[in-house]
Structure 1
Amino acid sequence: MLGGGYAGLMVTRKLEERLPPGDDIVLVDETGDHLVQHELHRTIRYPGFADDITVPLDELVTRATVREATVTDLDPDAGTVALADDGTLDYDAGVVALGSQTADYGIPGVAEHATPLKRLDHAAELRRDFFDAVDPDGGTVVVVGAGLSGVQTAGEFAELADHEGLADDVEVVLVERAETVAPSFPENFRATTRNALRDLGVRLETGTEVTEVTADAVVADDGEIPHDVLAWTGGVRGPDALDGERQDVRADLRLSERTFVAGDAADVVDADGERVPASAQAAVRASPAVARNVERVLDAARADDSVGHLEKWAFETPGWLISVGDDAVAQLGPEVFRGTAANVIKTSVGLTYLAEHGSLRDAIRVVREELGDDRVLPELRDREF
């Protein structure tokens, strides 16, 4: 198992349940920790929150061996993995769940002057940049890319400025190449998200193609946008171990005879012929099918037989959730709403995930941060952890 994010952890736990005791399961991850990625943006405003959304993988698995190492290369056909420490691994069945990297599309200056938001140190750097660059005379924070990550990042900066008493002096600008924010989502979800951002005072620059980034400006096709802080969330590419490519796979999620891909490392067309969005929700929902297909490959190898039918996966979602500062937008079926109800739903999802994969203590801390003590159940609020 390569990668300890949503997909890697979920597939590992499924395999621990399904595979016979004699099968070895190795989980390789470069940090050795599981990061609750969908809450990462919160640490821009609340740096102490980092401890609550980071859980050692050793605490989350029961029989798998966790190896802390960086995957530098792999051969899906041969079943071999090269690691940065000059180590190698061979496998009978493997899953590539290395996630994605932020894409810069070859735009000059992005790597030198912009900070992505994929790791805890990225969030810490963005927070430092804010306090280093923004002063009582004001400043401009620019976030490029208005997908889910970009919307949430812009929302956090707007709330941070307000918390520091700088709301009237700091401008937060969200730049998007498409004509709308959250362009991959239904119109009613996009419209509600737009309204939430505008209510926070975020300036929206949609339909704006970035052509270059300099130390103090984002150069676009229709002019320049000055920046004091620059966050780049404009798209995804594959992991370096796969040469930056997101692997094209069909509904069985198979990359080769013995290798499968899960999570953002894959560009999946599912059993319904639909392209699956790169999201935590999709990674989690695909994991059971990946685990069952791995089991079938191993069963066939033990029987010295060919692999028969592999399960084909179709992505189904009950809806979407997004944080916009202290606000939230939720879509359940055709209905879209925001405010307290949306926040409660989003926080409940986080509570369930952390309680299952982290600890009750961490889950309650998340609720306290997102909802405030006055909305936490009294029997949980007053409990000592």
Structure 2
Amino acid sequence: MAENTEVVVIGGGYAGVMAANRLTQRDDVSVTLINARPDFVERIRLHQLAGGTHAAVNDYRKVLGERVRLVVDTVTRIDATGRGVELASGGTVGYDYLIYAVGSGSADPGVPGAAEFAHPIATFEEARRLRSVLDAAPATAPVTVVGAGPTGIETAAELAEAGRTVTLVCGGPLGPYLHPKGRRSLAKRLAGLGVSVLQGPGTKVTEVSGDAVRLGDGRELPSGVTIWTAGFGVPDLAARSGLSTDTLGRLLTDETLTSVDDERIVAAGDSAAPSDMPFRMSCQAAGPLGAHAADTVLSRIASKRPTPIDLGFAGQCISLGRRTGMFQFAHKDDTAKRLHVGGRTGAKVKELVCRLTVKQLVDEARKPGSHTWAKGEQGRRLLRAQRRETAATAEQSV
């Protein structure tokens, strides 16, 4: 191997930036970060961008280490054999190691009319377009938010607090991740904001038109602006490049986050599927996964054996407008506890988490290798054991 090691990171989100900064621990490693946008997007603030309360972007000069080279372009193909990535601009960037951190975006709704009439909010461009649509819509126009997860809840609350008439269509239970106690508190707060919450059987959207949303139970809701937050998808770059992926398109890796096809390719963030058991898509997982991906590459450069990922969760933050919020505490295996914090305290915790998420990147840029995170390997071992048991049972029944 050459004296200098070239590492390319695809994707400049939470995972990609963390990985790029951490790689600069070694002076003999050159790091190139390739991202389609010239600015760092605070994805967990996109509902605020849509609501007009935050720009949701930061200058890369703030969050990236000085030794990281930023290339603003889109990777169209990974040539694993030739160790290079092809760019939309026509160029090629070679690598010794590649970190695949392309993140996630909106999923195909698969519902008639949704792609044409509903507005997704999973990317900066989508949130900005939605902001323009809302600005152009009459203040009295009914808004329908589809999706019962954090993005849908936060978007509904943000717009309701701004005076919009909002209906949140869950397609199932409200906040399925939450403990029932936290879910009741959440429903009470949404009711206080004037959000009409439709949950349970029959609330799955079956059709979207320019001025209405139809539900599985036959109801038709008037909707001047329909916002789609249900589900996430990942870019198909790995699959198009001939690499193994899971059913959603995430890069299949082992527990060190190394591609099952090529030890020179390591994945991080929402686009990684270690042992085909991906972590919950979240910034809470993205930072540690990015750091661990960098550690895996650095271990290989040093001719050391990489270690398996060990990540524990703390909970989930949900903002409910600018004045209140919720923090749902969780066990390290990412299952909800009974305990949650709400009200103004919940809002302060949420805002603190948003700021700390950026601060962690800044700190890693200034002092590479400093980022640490909660461990939770016991829960991971249980998941692997359950998978082996399920596989064995299925094999015996054949």
Q: Normalising to structure 2: TM-score of the pair?
A: 0.77
Q: 1:191 to 1:252 in 2, by over 3 A?
A: farther
Q: Secondary structure at the match of 1:131?
A: helix
- Give the match for residue 377 of structure 1: none
Residue 76 (structure 1) shift: 4.5
Deviation larger for 259-268 or 182-191: 182-191
Question: What secondary structure sits across from 1:40 in the alignment?
Answer: helix
Task: Tell me which amino acid in the other structure corresponds to 1:290.
Answer: A
Residues 1-385 of structure 1: pairs in structure 2 closer than 5 A: 1-17=9-25, 19=26, 21-46=27-52, 49-50=54-55, 53-57=57-61, 60-76=64-80, 78-135=82-139, 138-161=140-163, 170-178=164-172, 180-207=173-200, 208-223=203-218, 224-243=220-239, 245-255=249-259, 256-268=262-274, 275-300=278-303, 309-326=305-322, 327-333=324-330, 334=337, 335-357=339-361
Partner Cα separation in structure 2 for residue 347 and residue 118 of structure 1: 19
Stretch deviating more after TM superposition (69-78 or 224-233): 69-78
Unpaired runs of at least 5, structure 1 = 162-169, 301-307, 360-385
Distance verdict in 2 for CA 1:75–1:57, change over 3 Å: farther
CA-atom RMSD in angstroms? 2.4
Cα distance in 1 for partners of 2:59, 2:168 equals 31
Q: In 2, are the aligned partners of 1:58 and 1:66 still within 8 Å (CA)? A: no
Cα-to-partner distance string for 1:92-136 (whole Å, 9 max, x where unaligned): 11111111121124323222112211333322322232232224x
| C-alpha separation in 2, matches of 1:141 and 1:344 | 27
Query: Is this contact kept in 2: 1:2–1:27, CA < 8 A?
Result: yes
Q: For residue 358 of structure 1, report the CA deviation from its aligned partner.
A: 5.9
Q: Which residues of structure 2 form unaligned runs of 5+? A: 1-8, 240-247, 331-336, 364-398
Change (3 A) 1:245 1:33: same
Whole-angstrom distance in 2 between the partners of 1:193 and 1:76: 47
Amino acid at match of 1:152: E
| CA distance, structure 2, for counterparts of residue 202 and residue 263 of structure 1 | 32
Q: Determine the structure 1 residue equivalent to 2:3.
A: none
CA contact (8 A) 1:82 1:88 kept: yes
How far, CA to CA, are the matches of 2:86 and 2:44 in structure 1?
29
2: distance between equivalents of 1:194 and 1:291? 41
When residues 104 and 205 of structure 1 are mapped into structure 2, their CA distance, relative to the original with a 3 A threshold, is: farther
* TM-score (norm. length: structure 1): 0.80
Write the deviation string for residues 5-50 of structure 1: whole angstroms up to 9, x where unpaired: 0000001111112x2x232110001112211111221122335x31
For 2:317 and 2:92, locate their aligned partners in 1 and report how far apart those are by CA, in whole Å.
40
Instruction: Please say if residues 320 and 347 of structure 2, whose CA atoms lie closer than 8 Å, have aligned partners that are also in contact.
Output: no
Sort the Cα spacing of 1:33 and 1:57 in 2 relative to 1 into closer, same or farther, 3 A.
Answer: farther
Identity of aligned residues (%): 31
Q: Whole-Å Cα distance in 2 between the matches of residues 146 and 121 of structure 1?
A: 22
Aligned length: 334
Per-residue deviation at 1:355? 4.2
